[in-house]
Amino acid sequence: MTLRNEAPGPPTGLPRKIVVVTGAARGQGAAEARSLAAAGAHVVALDVADTPAEALGDTTEYRRHDVTDRAAWASLATDMRNRFGRIDGLVNNAGITWRARLLDVDVADLERVHAVNLVGPVLAIQACAPLMPRGSSIVNVGSVAALTGHVPVAYTTSKWALRGLTRVACLELGPRGIRVNAVHPGYIETPMTASASPAFRDGNVTETPLGRTGTVDEVAALVTFLIGDGSSYVSGAEIPVDGGMTAHGGVKSIADGLAAASDDPSPIPSAVIDETDVPHQRHCLP
């Protein structure tokens, strides 16, 4: 069946877009670089490692880069201006963690984490935004720690601050036609989460309605969409990629306990209302 007057769908792919991705040597950042490259972008992958630990895609160039170094950002911006004349996308993915709790954390460690997770994105935006034409996009990679009171205080406060930066950048850069969004991964199988205790992994799975951990490719797909023109009216959004973990506000443990205590483990109540027993109301226009 042929539909007439069918509106065209949103643009797909990222042909000829120049996209900068930080923290791209491995894990989540490497997956984002591959996904963006597969969609047609020319990706400039940055990380502090001398060489990437994973393949990054045929249209990806890699360079060693410290996101906390203002001079390095100035150098990158000059190179991008001279070679391409623009930057179409920026993915602030680089991040580090430190698992000390509130009463134990050293201020030096707090500052070190914030330098990478917050100051790095600020410097990146300051360097890249002047080169970004209308229709460009910035994606900040946060964490579900920024949606909760997660116990590693340095990491959690840095990601909450990144949420604030996302909102401010959305407001400040919107008149330039630059979109700014944040994605908040849950427990994703990465080198960072692999260093956590098994109890942390198990606890996350228990609190996740989908009952599993996520993959780097599932996050990368959303990042690629937000960089592309198909999300041209999406700005200021904060999107969890967490299997539903932050949606229930801690109620899942209660629901699971109720189900375990009942004879019927199904979360669907056994007592349902029969619509035929409920008087129908007539809805009329005033």
Residues taking part in catalysis:
155
Q: Report whether 210 contacts 188 (CB < 8 A).
A: no
Tell me the C-alpha distance between 173 and 269, whole Å: 48
Tally: H helices and E strands in the chain: 9, 7
Q: Residue 57's closest CA among 29, 96, 85?
A: 29
- Helix axis angle for 27-38 and 216-227, nearest 10°, is 50
In single-letter form, the type of residue at position 179 comes to R
**Residue 278, number of CB atoms within 10 A of its CB:** 8
Q: Residue 187's closest CA among 153, 163, 210?
A: 210
Which residues 6+ apart lie within 8 Å of 75 measured at CB?
none
Region for 54 from its dihedrals, namely left if φ exceeds 0, alpha if ψ lies in -120 to 50, beta otherwise: beta
Q: Report whether 178 contacts 138 (CB < 8 A).
A: yes
Strand 18-22 to 179-185 pairing: unpaired
